Amino acid sequence: MSEPEAAGGAPAPVKPHHYAPPEWPAPIRGLCAISRAFAVAEGVGIGLCLITVIFLACWQFVERNLTQHHLWFFHVPTWTDGVIRHSVFMLGFLGGAYATYTGRHIRIDAVTRVLPPRRRMAMRIFSTVAALAIVSTFAWAAWGFYTVTLQEAGEASQVGQLFTPSRGAMVIVLGYAGIAFHFVVQIALDVAWLVDGREPPPEWIAEASH
């Protein structure tokens, strides 16, 4: 058969990436549910940021070209440049967090692909812990930057702007935090599968191919 089938010949339901069997402890299943909810929110955020960038950039382009030819058009708000700039910024972090959830972030898997499944997961735990440490360091540094930007709040250059420097810095903090959370869930699931002793689903073992 070309795809797994459940009892009765019906196609087996596709398991989500962060999946825990129903008999596993509630805290692990809860982590998986939260991670999937965050992934949905990240996907929606990516779509909203794309729509915002395209709409505002087109509006700005049309307005500037028409006014150069002395034709009237609806003026873009003063905060347009800041929103476009930060929306592109947010796209990077939302995309990074979603890629971490799906396992499609950058990997060096020349070695892990030739290992048995359980050894592959053990090595993935080690590499993910290292990645989590790096991301946590970046998040802590971003928080320090955020506290610095708070001291500049209220400056005249920030009047009328939707994205102030402090809000932009918070994007960095939350972006790294989202990536770190997905790493934590992945580590917890890998450890749980190793302790459980059963063979994990093929889509969970696969490297960047879910």
Q: Quote the pLDDT of residue 199.
A: 77
- pLDDT tens track for 139-187: 999 999 888 888 776 554 555 566 777 888 899 999 999 999 999 999 9
Contact 145, 167 (CB under 8 A): no
Tell me how far apart the 2 most distant CA atoms of the chain are, in Å.
73
Average pLDDT over residues 84-106: 85
Q: Quote the pLDDT of residue 36.
A: 92
Q: Which residues of 105-115 are buried (b: 16+ CB within 10 A; e: fewer)?
A: beeeeeebeee
pLDDT(15) > 80: no
Q: What is the CA radius of gyration of the chain?
A: 22
Bridge partners, 11 (sequence order): 5
Which residue's structure tokens are 């347009």? Answer: 80
